[in-house]
């Protein structure tokens, strides 16, 4: 029985799904047709209902509640994991200046963009681009600032860039909850037993990966391009944690709180038109 599955090539996702897609665990009769894409591409596909199981940012999930339900396993939440707002300016930047900046973002439907809107609701001049291009765009003066995610958290200083604000830290201070970045969602039209089996298998895949850590597998290396093993491990340790195994009540509360922020966010950013139960029971 084949199921389409999409996730990003970033180390946290390949770490999570390695055992599942490479048959290091028993997949209980399920066969996964995998596609690895940038998260904003996956977000756009989710809005179209393209894949059976998909990684996606929470704003994309909130717009797809009529199509997808969130699994308990595989999510990226945590403390100290949020996106960073950076610039080429070494001196401090007053908040009112940021409202007039051109800001490179890793996609309209990303949680990074929503957290930027949460911290700076009047910052309107946003330039969507692939996340890996943001540092260079700021360095080249194509944007006054940029919101960086993934491994760029660990490399921006080496490029001479400077942090304006940790947007995840701002969220944590205001909400007293972990930062919900992205989740794994399943199409509602799939049979319930298949959805629950997939959720169980993703958890088993993570448990297998944790049991063999700090090993960096060939599958993770293959998709990490020129990233060093140290950066891969930093990436995995930051984004894969107990919330990845199970959202828990605290994780679900954080997702629900982010949804409240989403509903009051800039109306031009999002199409708010769907409703449905969030979580897999």
Active site residues: 150
Residue 59: phi, psi to the nearest 5? -60, -35
What length does the chain have? 281
The CA R_g of the chain, rounded to the nearest whole Å, is: 18
Pairing of strands 179-187, 68-70: antiparallel
Cα angle: 60, vertex 226, 81; to 5 degrees: 40
Written as six digits, the tokens of 245 are 């195994």
């Amino acid at each position: 029985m084949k199921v389409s599955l999409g996730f990003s090539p970033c180390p946290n996702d390949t770490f999570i799904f390695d055992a599942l897609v490479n048959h290091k665990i028993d997949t209980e009769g399920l066969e996964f047709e995998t596609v690895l894409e940038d998260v904003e591409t996956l977000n756009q596909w989710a809005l179209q209902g393209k894949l059976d199981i998909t990684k996606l940012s929470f704003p994309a999930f909130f717009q797809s509640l009529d199509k997808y339900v969130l699994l308990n396993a595989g999510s990226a939440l945590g403390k100290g994991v949020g996106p960073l707002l950076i610039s080429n300016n070494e001196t401090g930047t007053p908040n009112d200046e940021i409202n007039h900046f051109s800001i490179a973002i890793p996609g309209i439907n990303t949680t990074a963009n929503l957290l930027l809107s949460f911290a700076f609701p009047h910052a309107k001049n946003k330039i969507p681009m692939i996340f890996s291009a943001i540092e260079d765009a700021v360095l080249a003066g194509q944007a006054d600032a940029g919101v960086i995610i993934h491994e760029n958290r660990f490399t921006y200083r080496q490029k001479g860039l400077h942090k304006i604000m940790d947007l995840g830290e701002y969220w944590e201070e205001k909400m007293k909850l972990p930062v919900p970045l992205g989740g794994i969602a399943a199409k509602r039209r799939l049979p319930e037993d298949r959805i629950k089996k997939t959720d169980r298998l993703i958890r088993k895949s993570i448990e297998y990966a944790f049991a063999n850590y700090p090993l960096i597998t060939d599958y993770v290396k293959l998709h990490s391009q020129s990233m060093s093993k140290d950066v891969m491990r930093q990436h995995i340790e930051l984004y894969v944690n107990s919330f990845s195994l199970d959202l828990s009540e605290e994780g679900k509360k954080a997702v629900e709180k982010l949804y409240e922020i989403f509903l009051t966010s800039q109306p031009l950013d999002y199409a708010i038109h769907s409703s449905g139960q969030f979580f897999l029971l």
